[in-house]
């Protein structure tokens, strides 16, 4: 049976493969949301010469295909994935497309403990231009140290070890290329704040959520940096709220001749 709910497309963070979202994707599907997580070219690249813009082009190509099929889309960005998702949705808002006589498009961009970065700034800029102590830099390879295992603190020990060891390198260009678009100026956005996150601290998340503007939805949960592993049902709850709001805003905007 064809789902009338938006398709959820997940932009993963650095160092991780899409399989880390398997549990939450199953829950999205059970709730009637078609869902998928896409692999970014910078993750595990050999040689590590891919950039943010390779990730954006790859992610955007999938969004365009879904939009051209008439699908409403909720883009869910995790961590570094916020840089990718933000750039990739440019011009793909559902209302923007409707104004051009096209069906489908993005109805909501969800930043899930993710980087929301002003246009012209890179992720490294947001770190003050300094690599974090647990980032191991080797030429264009950016690897993580064992300290990052603690980012999984709210998981059982076996899961913490499994996912910690699944981390791979990310190309340096993912962190150094400037973001090229601010979706919150053109389409509805949401921030899921993870209040126990030891990877992207709550104060940093709170600050970035303010960039999304006064109309952005804030959804708070008690979890670490990987809420889709520790509390996946809460992520489905939050994204469902975002999807509902996005669809309502689309209907209102189109009823007003496409004006938000």
Answer for the pair 35, 12: CB distance below 8 angstroms, yes or no.
Answer: no
pTM higher than 0.75: yes
For 157-178, what is the mean pLDDT?
96
Contacts of 251 (CB under 8 A, 6+ apart): none
Supply the pLDDT for residue 256. Answer: 65
Of all residues in the chain, the percent with pLDDT exceeding 90 is 95
Supply the pLDDT for residue 1. Answer: 42
* Chain mean pLDDT for the chain: 95
Could you identify the residue written with the tokens 């011009």? Answer: 91
For 130-141, what is the mean pLDDT?
96
Residue 203 reports pLDDT greater than 80: yes
Residue 225 reports pLDDT greater than 50: yes
CA 186 to chain CA centroid, Å, is 17
Per-residue H/E/C for 208-226? HHHCCCCCCEEEEECCCCC
Answer for the pair 26, 157: CB distance below 8 angstroms, yes or no.
Answer: no
Residue 258 reports pLDDT greater than 80: no
- pLDDT tier, 205 (very low <50, low <70, confident <90, very high otherwise): very high
Over residues 25-56, the pLDDT tens digits come to 999 999 999 999 999 999 999 999 999 999 99
Give the domains, in start order, of the chain with CATH numbers.
7-255 (3.40.50.1820)
- pLDDT tier, 255 (very low <50, low <70, confident <90, very high otherwise): confident
- pLDDT tier, 4 (very low <50, low <70, confident <90, very high otherwise): confident
- pLDDT tier, 260 (very low <50, low <70, confident <90, very high otherwise): very low
Supply the pLDDT for residue 206. Answer: 97
């Amino acid at each position: 049976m064809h789902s009338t709910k938006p398709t959820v497309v997940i932009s993963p963070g650095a160092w991780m493969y899409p399989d880390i979202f398997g549990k939450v994707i199953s829950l999205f599907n059970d709730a009637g949301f078609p869902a998928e997580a896409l692999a970014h070219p910078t993750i595990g690249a050999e040689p590590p010469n891919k950039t943010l813009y390779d990730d954006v082009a790859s992610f955007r190509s999938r969004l365009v295909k879904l939009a051209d099929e008439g699908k409403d889309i909720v883009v869910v960005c995790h961590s570094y994935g916020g840089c990718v998702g933000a750039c990739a949705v440019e011009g793909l808002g559902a209302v923007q497309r409707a104004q051009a006589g096209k069906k489908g498009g993005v109805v909501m961009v969800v930043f899930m403990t993710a980087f929301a970065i002003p246009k012209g700034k890179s992720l490294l800029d947001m770190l003050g231009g300094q690599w974090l102590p647990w980032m191991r830099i080797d030429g264009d390879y950016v690897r993580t140290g064992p300290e990052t295992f603690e980012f999984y603190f709210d998981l059982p020990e076996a899961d913490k070890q499994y996912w910690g060891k699944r981390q791979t390198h990310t190309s340096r260009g993912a962190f150094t290329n400037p973001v090229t678009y601010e979706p919150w100026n053109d389409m509805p956005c949401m921030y899921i704040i993870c209040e126990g996150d030891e990877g992207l601290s709550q104060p940093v998340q709170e600050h970035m959520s303010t960039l999304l503007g006064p109309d952005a939805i804030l959804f708070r949960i008690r979890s670490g940096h990987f809420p889709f592993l520790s509390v996946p049902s809460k992520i489905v709850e939050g994204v469902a709220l975002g999807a509902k709001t996005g669809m309502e805003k689309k209907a209102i905007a189109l009823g007003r001749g496409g004006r938000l």
